[in-house]
């Protein structure tokens, strides 16, 4: 074989061969390593997608994301995530400490037996009052209201509500001054 034939034989014959040769020449060992790692990771993902449970889960996620987008809740979800992120970024240690103290105080108050008894009594009283009110017939009108206001139990109930409101206001004012 002549030297010209050997030189022509080493030259790429087509554009594709020249492109492949250029890529071989340009690739470094670290690039080849990164490409092979990326390929292996891609094959691992494809292998995971062959699992029935994983495929079903992915289809469920895609269906739900599509539905959320269709009804407009996807943007709401992103807005909530942005709000949570902004809240987290803006909160200080002092704010978190005060919030946890407040939550602890509320849980200890709500979790007490006295509070549970109060809630149970209030619920029972409301249910009984609703039943009693449903059974009574009301004639209505101004004179019926005056007649009802003249009854001692009505006056006691109104006085109780007024006293309750005054005590609640007094405790709130006292607490505001101590803070």
* Matching residue, tokens 């071989």: 24
Q: pLDDT exceeding 70 applies to what percent of the chain?
A: 93
What lies within 8 Å, CB to CB, of 155 at 6+ separation is 149
The pTM of this model reads: 0.36
- Model pLDDT, residue 71: 94
pLDDT bracket for residue 2 (50, 70, 90): low
Tell me how far apart the alpha carbons of residues 70 and 63 are, in angstroms, rounded to a whole number.
Answer: 10
- Give mean pLDDT, residues 120-124: 89
**Token representation of residue 105:** 């105080």
Least confident segment among 6-10, 99-103, 122-126: 6-10
**Token representation of residue 13:** 């014959």
Q: pLDDT exceeding 90 applies to what percent of the chain?
A: 25
- Model pLDDT, residue 11: 59
What lies within 8 Å, CB to CB, of 54 at 6+ separation is 48
Helix (H) or strand (E) holding 8: helix 3-10
Say yes or no to pLDDT of 13 above 80.
no
- Count of residues making up the chain: 179
Q: For residues 149 and 143, is the Cβ–Cβ distance under 8 A?
A: no
- Model pLDDT, residue 6: 46
Tell me how far apart the alpha carbons of residues 83 and 96 are, in angstroms, rounded to a whole number.
Answer: 16
Say yes or no to pLDDT of 122 above 90.
no
Q: What is the pLDDT of residues 16-49, one digit of tens each?
A: 888 888 888 888 888 888 888 998 988 988 888 8
- Model pLDDT, residue 76: 93
């Amino acid at each position: 074989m002549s030297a010209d034939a050997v030189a022509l034989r080493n030259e790429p014959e087509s554009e594709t061969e020249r492109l492949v040769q250029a890529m071989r020449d340009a690739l470094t060992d670290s690039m080849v390593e990164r490409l092979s790692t990326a390929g292996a990771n891609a094959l691992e993902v494809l292998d995971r997608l062959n699992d029935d449970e994983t495929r079903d889960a992915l289809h469920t996620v895609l269906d739900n994301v599509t539905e959320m987008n269709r009804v407009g809740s996807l943007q709401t979800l992103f807005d909530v995530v942005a709000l949570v992120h902004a809240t987290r970024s803006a909160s200080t240690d002092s704010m978190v400490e005060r919030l946890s103290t407040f939550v602890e105080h509320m849980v200890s108050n709500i979790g007490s037996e006295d509070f549970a008894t109060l809630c149970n009594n209030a619920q029972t009283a409301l249910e009984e009052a609703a039943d009693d009110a449903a059974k009574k017939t009301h004639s209505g009108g101004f004179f019926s209201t005056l007649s009802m206001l003249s009854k001692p139990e009505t006056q006691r109930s109104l006085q109780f509500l007024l006293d309750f409101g005054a005590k609640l206001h007094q405790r709130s004012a006292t607490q505001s001054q101590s803070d």
